[in-house]
Chain A
Amino acid sequence: MNNKFDALKDDDSGDHDQDNCSPKDGEKEKNDEEEKDSNTTKTKVVVPGAGEHPLQYNYSFWYSRRTPGRPASTQSYEQNIKQIGSFASVEQFWRFYSHMIRPSDMTGHSDFHLFKEGIKPMWEDDANKSGGKWIIRLRKGLASRCWENLILAMLGEQFMVGEEICGAVVSVRFQEDIISIWNKTASDQATTARIRDTLRRVLNLPPNTIMEYKMHTDSIKAWEDFHGLVNASGGR
């Protein structure tokens, strides 16, 4: 059981790479949706202000960064991820976005996550556990523009896949940056194909851009396989 919830990280996609010591179990995970964890900044429901343009969904920005100087395996992903805030309108989005650094200016091993309110940027969240993500690896210098285009398309409901979109991630890594968009149902090929085609359109990607779809169950398994050797409780 521990292994399942320890497996919060993804090595290459944007989620995370750290953490194998989280003691969480399934029940705790569900409770968190109501009580919110300690690194959640606020619990009140946000609504569009007067004269603002409402979004189809409320969203939350999150930020995570691997702490320098500590081995990744001793950190909890959930402890490392910090909720920046939630918004319900176009104007509220810009307030946050304009007061946050651009992805290309982030340092180290950092991620921005933008997820629908109530969905944690974790594989194990109920909304994500049967899902997956499209991953696009970007050479250095493109992340800020691609991230902005990606999240504007998501907020503006350009993907046309109903309730399927969960959120988006930009990951700054050493030699490349990665953007990804998560959806609920990895087995729904019509949905994943539509997301892929929309990504190509809104990101204006070159035809030879490699796009990879990864199911979260595979991400979890890969994480467990990789960390099994160093995880003392890893009795799979």
Chain B
Amino acid sequence: MSMSSQKTTSQAIPTTRRVIINDAAHMPHDYSTTPGGTLFSTTPGGTRIIYDRKFLLDCRSSPLARTPPCCLPDIPGVTSPPSVTIKNDKAHPKKTVNNNSISPLADKSAGEDAQFEMDI
């Protein structure tokens, strides 16, 4: 009688994900994580692909992460067009996109902001 209530059904094995390591930097740094993002089946909402900060930062040096994105809109002073050479080092990754040509506008809007803040 109690046997029937104890019965559990079998579950399919979760889909296998194969992760190829191209760089030692992509190896996890502690035993609780797995290469290519750690899958937790016990998080709220089910299985999630989880990366810690260090792993994400390490991925930044990958050649795959260095190529400029396609279709990047050219917003002066905000984005750097793909044609511009970028030094993707961690110290100063975005020097070349800092466009000083809009600084006169900045001064103007800064004045507006002061007034705006008072409006709140």
Which A residues are within 8 Å of any B CB, using their own CB? 11-12, 17, 41-42, 49, 51-56, 63, 65-66, 68-69, 72, 82, 84-85, 87, 90-102, 105-110, 149, 152-153, 155-158, 160-163, 173-175, 202, 226
Complex formed: what's the CA distance from A155 to B119 in Å? 35
The answer to whether A105 and B69 have CB atoms under 8 Å apart is: no
- Chain B interface, number of residues (Cβ within 8 angstroms): 55
Which residues from A are CB-within-8-Å of B59?
53, 90-91, 94
Q: Which residues 89-120 of B have a CB within 8 angstroms of A?
A: 93-94, 97-98, 102-103, 105-106, 108-110, 112-114, 116-117, 119-120
Which residues from B are CB-within-8-Å of A163?
45
The answer to whether A96 and B69 have CB atoms under 8 Å apart is: yes
> A222 — nearest CB in chain B belongs to which residue?
B120
B99 to chain A, nearest CB (A): 8
Q: Which residue of B69, B103, B112 contacts A99 across the interface (Cβ within 8 Å)? A: B69
The answer to whether B51 and A91 have CB atoms under 8 Å apart is: no
A92 to chain B, nearest CB (A): 7
* 15 residue pairs bridging A and B, Cβ less than 8 Å apart: A11-B120, A51-B20, A53-B36, A54-B49, A68-B105, A99-B69, A99-B80, A100-B97, A101-B94, A110-B78, A152-B51, A155-B51, A157-B51, A174-B113, A175-B117
